[in-house]
Amino acid sequence: MKIRINEVYKKDFLVSESMVYNFAECTGDENPVHLNEEFAEKTIFGRRIAHGFLVGSLISTVLGNYFPGNGTIYVSQTMRFLKPVYLNDNITVIVEVLEVTDKKWLRLRTSCIKSNNENVIEGEALIIPPKNFQIVI
C-alpha cells in the first residue's frame, strides 16, 4: 500500500440504537443519558446521546480495517469531544496523514464529523502501519 503525506481517507457510519446498547453491554457504561430517553430528556442534550468513546472507536475501525488497514497497530490517540452525537446520526470519520516519524510510524489527524458538518471529535493518532506500506513523497 502506498501512503502520501496529506493523504485523506473518509468513511461514513450510522450511529444506531443497537450500537449504543451493544457498546453499553460491552463496556458496562450504563449511564442513563445513553440508554434512558426519559432521563436524557432532562439533560442539557434533551434526548439520548451515543457514548463518546463509541463514536471515537469508529476511528479505530477505520485504521484497523480500511486505512491503512489490517495489521495497523495503535500507539496513541487524543480526542476532544466537541458536540454530542445522537442516535441515528450519520458520522464521517476522517483520517489525514500528517507526518512519517523516523521510526516510519504515522502521525494522523483524526476527526468525526456529523452530516451537518459539525465536528464532534477531533484529535491525533500515532500508529505503526502494516508491513506492506510505502511512503510516496
In a domain, 37, yes or no: no
In a domain, 28, yes or no: no
- Counting the structural domains of the chain, the total is 1
Indicate the pTM of the whole model. Answer: 0.94
Instruction: For the chain, 137 residues long, give each residue's pLDDT as a single digit of tens.
Output: 788 899 999 999 999 999 999 999 999 999 999 999 999 999 999 999 999 999 999 999 999 999 999 999 999 999 999 999 999 999 999 999 999 999 999 999 999 999 999 999 999 999 999 988 777 76
In a domain, 25, yes or no: no
By residue range, what is the domain housing residue 7? 2-14+52-136
Q: What is the CATH number of the domain that holds 73?
A: 3.10.129.10
**What's the rounded Cα separation, in Å, for the pair 133 and 92?**
24
